[in-house]
Structure 1
Amino acid sequence: MFMMFAMTSDSVGEIIKEVKVAFSVTNAQASLMHSLPMLGIALSGLFLGFLADKLGRKPTIIIGLALFGLACYSFLIANDFMLIVSLMSLSGVAVGIFKTGALALIGDISSSTKQHTATMNGAEAFFGVGAIIGPLIVAYLIHQGVAWQWLYVIAGGVCTVLIIGALLVKYPDYSRHTESGEKKVSIAQSLKLVKNPYALGFSIGAFLYVAAESAIYVWMPSYLVCDATTLKATYDCYTEGFSQTLAIYSVTAFFILRAAGRFVGIWMMSHFNWSLVLMLFTGAIVLCFGLGLWGGKQLALFLFPLTGIFMSVIYPTFNSKGISCFPKHQHGSVAGVILFFTAAGAAAGPFIMGLVSDANGGDAKYGFMVATGFAALLFVGLVYNYVKNPTKERLAEIEASEYAN
């Protein structure tokens, strides 16, 4: 499921290049293809995340997958900009439903908070694989003269297989009953979690991280082209053959490094202090962004994709530790809250960067300055998290109460 979602969402940078030419839209308008689906995920996570706790993990996942498949197959008739954006938005709502069910399911199959973090990194590693496959499929389709919309039809086929699998697989037993009776599960209860300091803290961290990360796969292709004023991307300013190839496949290189880092993260988060790792890696991201802007395209060509290594473990760990601060009967709801802030960051970040770039002659460099600011704020927060360690007692309490058996 994570891989299928990434195939579509993380291909948007490559798709935007085509749509800007086909429909003559501005950077800000084109960014709606990323921002509105993320808004759909955000609202779905916040207002429908409770379904995983109320209906159970399996029904929620199947409902979300069915809606996603419907949106994907509808791309067969999508040849209008507004219809394309609408279908992308609908797919975002669907993702919010099945992803909260999947995130809650990870808690059900984990035996400790540490294993939860390792498993989350494993799931997100497959997201990383999908992020590699998606842009490659788009590039291949375009090279063969086939419409990029067929990427969504392919994703719809994968979704159909997943629905069949979800119907056949036996899920862990899940009950909303405890010794004190049935836990109330509702939208109101989910909204109350927003005020919880643990949910809010990790959610803000997810917002800042995703806002910075999205700059890579949304605007890096536009930043690295030699002449942004032409209708066709050119890479003549990179003198060496390797540099030109890297510029063309820079997003793929980023996603390969991010996926590899997440598989390594399964081991890393089982052996090292997670707060120290996040602080050091975020500092490295700020350094790569800053030096990439200072040194221009020739240096950014190498430093921007390199951030994939450092970004690899940040979001899965935020997600895992945030969810692990709560009992299992709330995992769907808190996953929805974190997903809301995640998608809000993915929606707001690229849109703000697009506006700032348009205000400065359309140069994506100015958008990356905004992204560097987001990363710097996140670094400051993670320094505080490492020094103060505010979740230590809470995680120990949940470990004893939820995973002791």
Structure 2
Amino acid sequence: MFMMFAMTSDSVGEIIKEVKVAFSVSNAQASLMHSLPMLGIALSGLFLGFLADKLGRKPTIIIGLALFGVACYSFLIANDFVLIVSLMTLSGVAVGVFKTGALALIGDISTSTKQHTATMNGAEAFFGVGAIIGPLIVAYLIHQGVAWQWLYVIAGGVCTVLIVGALLVKYPSYMRGNSEQVKKVSVTQSLALLKNPYALGFSIGAFLYVAAESAIYVWMPSYLVCDATSLKATYECYTEGFAQTLAIYSVTAFFILRAAGRFVGIWMMSHFNWALVLMLFSGAIVLCFSAGLWGGKNVALFLFPLTGIFMSVIYPTFNSKGISCFPKHQHGTVAGVILFFTAAGAATGPFVMGLVSDANGGDAKYGFMVATVFATILFMGLVFNYLYNPTQRKLAEIEASEYH
């Protein structure tokens, strides 16, 4: 499921290039193909995340997958810009439903909070794989003269297989809570979690992380081109052939390193202090961003994609530890709250960076300065988390009562 979602969401940059030409839309209009699906995920996570706790994991996942499949197959008749954006938004709403169900399910199959974090890194690793193969599929389709919409049809096929699998597989039981607790599961409870320090803390961390991460796959290509004023991307300023190739495929290199790091994170989070790892890795991100800005394009060419290694374990761990601070009958609801902030960061971060860049002559360097600020605030928060460990007692309580 995570891989299928990433195949479509992280291909939007490649798709936007085609849509702008096909429908003669502006950059602002084309950006809706990214921001509206993110808005759909955010609102779905916040207002529908409770379904995983109310209806159960299996029905919620199947409902979300069915809605996603309908949106994907509808791309076969999508030959209008408004319809395309509407279907992308609908797919975002569907992702918010099935992803909260999947995140809650991870808690059901975990026997400890540490295993929960390792499993979460494994699930997000498949998201990293989808982020790599999705753009490659779009590029191949376009090269073969096939419409990019077939990416969604392919995703719809994967979705159909997943629905069949979800129907056949026996899901583990989870602590649903007593009848009174089940009755209280609602949108109101989701909104109430916004006041909870654990849910809010990890949600803000997810927002800051995703806002910084999005600078890489949204604005790094613009920063690395030799002449930002040219309509055609040029890389002649990189003297070596390898450097030119890396500049062209810098985003792919980042996604490969991020995916590899998440698979390693399965082992890492089982053997090391998660708070220490996150503090050190977030500090490394700040150093890479700062050095890449200070040293210019030739330095950023290597350091910006390298952040994929350091970013790899941060978001899955935020998700896991944030969810693990709550009893299992609330896992879907709290997952939806964190997902809301995640999508909000993905939508807000690149937009703010674009505004700042435009205000400074369109140079993407200024957008990365904003990203560095996001990364620095995140690092400061994780230093505090490591030094004072505010979740230690809460995680220990949940470990004793919810995991066996």
Of 15-24 and 349-358, the range deviating more from structure 2: 15-24
Tell me which residue corresponds to 1:2: 2
Letter in 2 for 1:75: F
Letter in 2 for 1:217: Y
Contact conserved, 1:199 with 1:322, CA < 8 A, in 2? Answer: yes
Contact conserved, 1:28 with 1:354, CA < 8 A, in 2? Answer: no
Compute the displacement of 1:231 (Å).
3.7
Tell me which residue corresponds to 1:353: 353
| Within-5 A mapping of 1:330-369 | 330-369=330-369
Tell me which residue corresponds to 2:329: 329
Contact conserved, 1:27 with 1:355, CA < 8 A, in 2? Answer: no
**Where do 5+ consecutive residues of structure 2 fail to align?**
none
Of 298-307 and 218-227, the range deviating more from structure 2: 218-227
Contact conserved, 2:50 with 2:190, CA < 8 A, in 1? Answer: yes
Letter in 2 for 1:78: A
Q: Residue 307 in 1 paired to residue 316 in 2?
A: no
Question: Structure 1 residues 380, 145: closer, same or farther in 2, change over 3 A?
Answer: same
| Within-5 A mapping of 1:114-193 | 114-174=114-174, 176-178=176-178, 182=182, 184-193=184-193
Q: Residue 226 in 1 paired to residue 193 in 2?
A: no
Tell me which residue corresponds to 1:240: 240
Compute the displacement of 1:80 (Å).
3.3
| Within-5 A mapping of 1:4-403 | 4-174=4-174, 176-178=176-178, 182=182, 184-403=184-403
Question: Structure 1 residues 223, 146: closer, same or farther in 2, change over 3 A?
Answer: farther
User: TM-score under structure 2 normalisation?
Assistant: 0.95
Contact conserved, 1:14 with 1:221, CA < 8 A, in 2? Answer: no
Contact conserved, 1:12 with 1:218, CA < 8 A, in 2? Answer: no
Of 242-251 and 9-18, the range deviating more from structure 2: 9-18
Of 267-276 and 294-303, the range deviating more from structure 2: 294-303
Q: % of aligned pairs identical?
A: 90
Please, what is the CA RMSD of the aligned residues? 1.7
Contact conserved, 1:136 with 1:252, CA < 8 A, in 2? Answer: no
Question: Structure 1 residues 25, 229: closer, same or farther in 2, change over 3 A?
Answer: farther
Of 13-22 and 383-392, the range deviating more from structure 2: 13-22
| Deviation readout 1:15-73 (Å, 9 max, x if unpaired) | 33444444455544433222211111010000000000000001100111111111112
Contact conserved, 1:75 with 1:84, CA < 8 A, in 2? Answer: yes
Question: Structure 1 residues 179, 144: closer, same or farther in 2, change over 3 A?
Answer: closer
| Deviation readout 1:280-312 (Å, 9 max, x if unpaired) | 100111111111122222221111110000000
**Equivalent pairs, count:** 404
Residue aligned with 1:344, SS: helix
Residue aligned with 1:349, SS: helix
Letter in 1 for 2:221: P
Letter in 1 for 2:348: A
Compute the displacement of 1:8 (Å).
1.1
Contact conserved, 1:7 with 1:131, CA < 8 A, in 2? Answer: yes
| Deviation readout 1:65-124 (Å, 9 max, x if unpaired) | 111111112222333333322221111101000000000000000000000000000100
Question: Structure 1 residues 340, 278: closer, same or farther in 2, change over 3 A?
Answer: same
Cα separation, 2, equivalents of 1:155 and 1:363: 36
Cα separation, 2, equivalents of 1:194 and 1:319: 15
**Where do 5+ consecutive residues of structure 1 fail to align?**
none
| Deviation readout 1:127-186 (Å, 9 max, x if unpaired) | 111111112112222333333222222111111111111111111124534397755211
Compute the displacement of 1:236 (Å).
2.6
